[in-house]
Amino acid sequence: MTSRSAEDIELLNRYLAGDVSAFDELVRAHEDRVFGICLRMMRDRDAALDAVQETFITVFRKADRYQAKAAFSTWLYRVAVNTCYDQLRKAKRRRTEQLAETADPADPASGDPIHAAELRPDIENALATVPVEFRSAVVLVDLEGLALEQASEILDVPIGTIKSRVFRGRKLLAERLGNLREGSKHPRDDQ
């Protein structure tokens, strides 16, 4: 168990014992990653913020149902992904015209912020066209950097299914971005 996992369990136990400030600490510790997952799944900042809020409301209400079979973060990310699925299904039923997005800041992890800002809309648009089951696997493994095993737990599917979804999602992204060459292979396909 990592120190973060141990700290999460301790905070959760404090919250369940009545210390609401412990829940605030849990939120602060995980809100950035949950937002990243939701933003990439929802592809809309406002929808992602709604999904993050709904995720933490769900965790607040159902914290007593957490079973320590997996890390708290794995359970939390699963709640986030399921919340996104639910909101995407609801949005599909009531399609609306999307307003133009403002320019988001470049990815700070990128070596060249100008290049990252130029590529980001293309990548986000391509990701939005990938079916949601492949998108969620690619978001968790490639964009959030989670291990295949953890993505498998979060999405509640066998690891072979995760590998397949990541492979197919990467392939669809490469096709849409126009950079798939015959016989090309993604460096993480061997995981």
Q: Within this chain, do residues 113 and 29 fall inside the same structural domain, yes or no?
A: no
> In this structure, what token pair is assigned to residue 46?
């406002």
Assess whether 84 and 112 both reside in one domain: no
In terms of C-beta density within 10 A (0-12 exposed, 13-18 middle, 19 or more buried), how is residue 39 classed? buried
The domain in which residue 147 lies consists of 107-178
* 5 and 86 co-located in one domain: yes
Among the listed residues 122, 132, 121, the one whose alpha carbon sits nearest the alpha carbon of residue 168: 132
Q: Which has more confidence, 154 or 183?
A: 154
- Same domain assignment for residues 72 and 144: no
What is the domain-level CATH number for residue 25?
A: 1.10.1740.10
Residue 100 has pLDDT above 60, yes or no: no
User: Does 102 map to a domain?
Assistant: no
Q: How many domains are there within the chain? A: 2
Q: Taking a C-beta distance cutoff of 8 angstroms, is the pair 55, 41 a contact?
A: no
For residues 83 and 117, membership in a common domain is answered with no
Q: pLDDT tens across 146-170, in order?
A: 999 999 999 989 999 999 999 999 9
Residues 82 and 119 in one domain: no
Please indicate, yes or no, if residue 15 is contained in any of the structural domains.
Answer: yes
**One domain, residues 21 and 84:** yes
Rounded Cα distance, 27 and 63, in Å: 12
Same domain flag for 79 and 143: no
| Residue that terminates a domain, selected from 68, 93, 118 | 93
On whether both 72 and 128 belong to a single domain, the answer is no
pLDDT digits (tens, 9 = 90+) for 103-112: 444 444 445 5
Are 40 and 120 found together in one domain? no
Report the C-alpha gap between 41 and 143 in whole angstroms.
11
| Tens-digit pLDDT profile for residues 120-131 | 677 778 888 888
* pTM value > 0.85: no
